[in-house]
Structure 1
Amino acid sequence: MFVRTASERDLGAIRALLVETWHATYDAIYGVERVTAITDDWHSIASLKARLTRPNSEFLVGDDGKRLGGMAFAAATTDPKTVLLNQLYVHPACQRQGIGQSLLTEVVASFPEMRTLRLEVEEANAAAIIFYEANGFRPVGRTADCGGSSGLPALILEKRLG
């Protein structure tokens, strides 16, 4: 798979990837109904489309020419040296093939001024935590409101660069 910038024509496939990945990852944690409600809100076509034009951000997909295997979205905070990795998801059938690593590498390359890459992750998502720690992220705190509007608790991880 190669990593490229997402476009409007990708939005349906990105939504499908996110819905399937979220159900595979979070149904056992939050329940099917809550995951469906979250994905209907956070991963609607309108919500995804808004990210395409967000200033100081990068919206990426992992694409093999036939399907999307992963996606990532990151945006600079008010401090351009700190970037928030809002999303990095790899389809369950494509995990452990280097797609997440490739997306993460491209996120870092997209923000040359960045010194800190920060993310929030559900504490029960052990596979994600292992992935991020293997890629240099360390816990720096917790939030009671993942994403700023979910009411879901999460760990805050950071990777220091340069």
Structure 2
Amino acid sequence: MSKTTIRATQVEDAAELKTALLNIWHNTYDSFLGVERVTKLAAGWHTLDKLRAEAQADDICSLVAVCDGSIVGHALMYEAQPRTIHLARLYLDHSFHGKGIGKRLLSNAIDAFPHAHNAYLEVYEPNQRAVRFYQGQGFEVVARTRDAYTEDVLYEYKMEKKLVDNDK
């Protein structure tokens, strides 16, 4: 397999990133959200204007993983509160799972905020592969809440990771 590079998202990546995210979302969420809902949610969450704005924002870390000239993964992180960063997105084409690319995306996103003490994310409960991945990266489940964006009963976990030892 070719080498995969991690780099900052560029404005010019928006259209390809939108397509990549839609494909990854379908592979990840169709089984418990349904095809129609995934298409609708992705269209709302990943507009070209939003992806372009995120790529240009100084206070957001937006990264892409690129292999053979194609975007195969994406991470988005920002400081939600002083010294607390939120991983809003970490997606990887399923054919690239288990190759360390997700770990690199996550690590690079965290490294973009060297002053941060804590990181958190939300992940759907049925997405057990992702839950196990985040646990393997040191995140712990701290809450289980009902998803506010779905009409049926669907839960998500809030997971947190302490980045520095505040007791030292």
TM-score for both structures, normalised by structure 2: 0.88
Task: Show the counterpart of 1:31.
Answer: 34
Contact 2:143/2:158 (8 A) holds in 1: yes
Contact 2:7/2:65 (8 A) holds in 1: yes
Structure 1 runs of 4+ with >4 Å offset: none
2:88 paired residue among 60, 67, 86: 86
**Larger Rg: 1 or 2?**
2
Task: Show the counterpart of 1:63.
Answer: 66
Structure 1 residues without counterparts, runs of 5 or longer: none
Answering whether residue 21 of structure 2 is matched by residue 18 of structure 1, we say yes
Q: After TM superposition, give the deviation of residue 34 of structure 1 in Å.
A: 0.4
Deviates more, 1:48-57 or 1:62-71: 48-57
Distance 2:142 2:5 in 1: 31
Task: Show the counterpart of 2:121.
Answer: 119
Task: Show the counterpart of 2:133.
Answer: 131
Contact 1:41/1:47 (8 A) holds in 2: no
Distance 1:82 1:98 in 2: 25
Secondary structure, in 3 states, of the residue corresponding to 2:81? coil
Structure 2 residues without counterparts, runs of 5 or longer: none
Answering whether residue 48 of structure 2 is matched by residue 48 of structure 1, we say no
Aligned AA for 2:43? D
Secondary structure, in 3 states, of the residue corresponding to 1:124? coil
The number of aligned residues is 158
Secondary structure, in 3 states, of the residue corresponding to 1:48? helix
Q: After TM superposition, give the deviation of residue 140 of structure 1 in Å.
A: 0.8
Aligned AA for 1:27? D
TM-score for both structures, normalised by structure 1: 0.91
Aligned AA for 1:54? A
Distance 1:76 1:65 in 2: 31
Task: Show the counterpart of 2:144.
Answer: 142
